[in-house]
């Protein structure tokens, strides 16, 4: 009898233990209802990829991973905005671009086309991405002065959820290259001509007085949307071509990240991959911050005293859409002096 009582008590303890575990509350992730974003208004320039990193604020340290989801994407007036969620093919890097690639084929092997919508949020970081390097995609999105768009982001983990509301997008009009004189809203430009970043030790052919950046004009324009090349030409004061070989110290093979150089008496042409620069990363072809390609046209001549004078003209630029492009550098006031004294 005593054995039966002990056995019954043992079974009851096991059953009670099982029930206790069943009804105990599960451990839940911590979730801060105070989490937010440091930025709610976005003005991307259409035609370019743009990523806003590290703008989600979570000072109370919610348990990770958090999950982020776009919700209620709409026009400013509350209407559906399918153009923000429609998928288009855009280039995505699968391997790191270094600037040391030796062919277009090697560059293209490192990236692939994927379908993405204009607006995305990264699932576990909350980073906001605008995919712009598809021409059809970029031209389907409304730009200012339109009121733009609004959207919300849902943030959650197993411990809770909240919706952060009323983010706003007001894109700027497409600007296919920089520097650019076009107004960011209207697109109007009083002139397409630009100036070099700097000109040093360059004198005029007839007056032998210094030439400055303001005396030199630069034009960037697209010849065709079909190809993938960049041509560089120089024009003198008589509107005639200057032979690029006169810039005799220019490192043409490493002037930019291009291939299959074509040299003529009127231009230099490269096969290139777009955009230029391909990524915002410092390489030997870019500015220090990696935002622009950095061109250095240089030549030397002997002065009357037998001294060697080295002249440089620098131009920093970016082109964001694929095509056959041309840069024309013009000397309307006076041609540079290339000959020795």
R_g of the chain, CA atoms, integer Å: 30
CA distance 133 to 326: 20
What CA–CA distances, in Å, run from 113 to 91, 93, 99, 275, 341? 5, 9, 20, 14, 55
Could you check whether the bond before residue 285 is cis, i.e. omega within 30 degrees of 0?
no
The residue ranges of the chain whose pLDDT is under 70 are: 1-27
- pLDDT at residue 7, as a whole number: 43
Cβ atoms within 10 Å of 101's Cβ, excluding its own = 19
With vertex at residue 289, the alpha carbon angle to CA 285 and CA 294, rounded to the nearest 5 degrees, is: 30
CA distance 173 to 91: 21
User: Taking a C-beta distance cutoff of 8 angstroms, is the pair 69, 121 a contact?
Assistant: yes
CA distance 169 to 10: 66
pLDDT digits (tens, 9 = 90+) for 236-283: 999 999 999 999 999 999 999 999 999 999 999 999 999 999 999 999
pTM of model > 0.85: yes
CA distance 104 to 106: 5
What CA–CA distances, in Å, run from 99 to 79, 90, 154, 327? 44, 21, 38, 22
Backbone angles phi, psi at 211, to 5 degrees: -100, 140
The β-bridge partners of 263 are 268
User: Taking a C-beta distance cutoff of 8 angstroms, is the pair 193, 217 a contact?
Assistant: yes
- What is residue 304's DSSP assignment? T
> Residue 272: which residues within 8 A CB-CB, separation 6 or more?
104, 228, 229, 230, 256, 257, 258, 259
Could you report how far apart the first and last alpha carbons of the chain are, in Å? Answer: 125
- pLDDT at residue 2, as a whole number: 47
Domain edges within the chain? 36-169, 177-330
> Residue 265: which residues within 8 A CB-CB, separation 6 or more?
241, 243, 244, 245
């Amino acid at each position: 009898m005593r054995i039966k009582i002990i056995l019954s008590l043992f079974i009851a303890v096991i059953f009670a233990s099982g029930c206790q575990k069943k009804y105990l509350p599960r451990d839940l992730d911590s979730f801060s209802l105070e989490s937010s974003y440091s930025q709610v208004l976005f003005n991307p320039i259409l035609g370019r990829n743009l990523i806003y990193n590290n703008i989600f604020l979570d000072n109370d340290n919610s348990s990770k991973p958090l999950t982020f989801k776009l919700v209620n994407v709409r026009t400013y007036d509350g209407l559906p905005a399918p153009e923000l969620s429609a998928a288009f093919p855009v280039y995505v890097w699968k391997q790191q671009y270094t600037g040391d690639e030796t062919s277009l084929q090697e560059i293209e092997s490192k990236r692939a086309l994927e379908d993405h919508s204009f607006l995305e949020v990264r699932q576990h970081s909350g980073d906001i991405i605008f995919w712009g390097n598809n021409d059809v995609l970029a031209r389907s999105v409304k730009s200012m002065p339109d009121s733009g768009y609004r959207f919300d982001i849902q943030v959650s983990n197993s411990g809770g959820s909240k919706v952060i509301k009323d983010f706003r997008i007001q894109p700027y009009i497409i600007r296919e290259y920089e520097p650019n004189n076009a107004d960011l809203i209207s697109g109007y430009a009083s002139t397409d001509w630009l100036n070099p970043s700097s000109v040093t030790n360059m004198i005029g052919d007839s007056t032998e007085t210094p030439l400055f950046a303001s005396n030199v004009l630069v034009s960037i324009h697209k010849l065709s949307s079909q190809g993938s090349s960049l041509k560089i030409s120089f024009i003198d004061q008589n509107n005639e071509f200057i032979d690029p070989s006169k810039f005799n110290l220019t490192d043409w093979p490493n002037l930019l990240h291009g291939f299959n150089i074509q040299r003529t008496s009127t231009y230099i042409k490269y096969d290139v991959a777009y955009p230029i620069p391909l990524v915002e990363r410092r390489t030997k072809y870019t500015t220090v911050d990696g935002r622009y390609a950095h061109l250095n046209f240089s030549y030397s001549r002997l002065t009357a005293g037998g001294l060697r004078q080295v002249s440089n003209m620098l131009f920093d630029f970016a082109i964001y859409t694929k095509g056959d492009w041309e840069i024309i550098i013009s000397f309307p006031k006076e041609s540079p002096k290339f000959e020795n004294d």
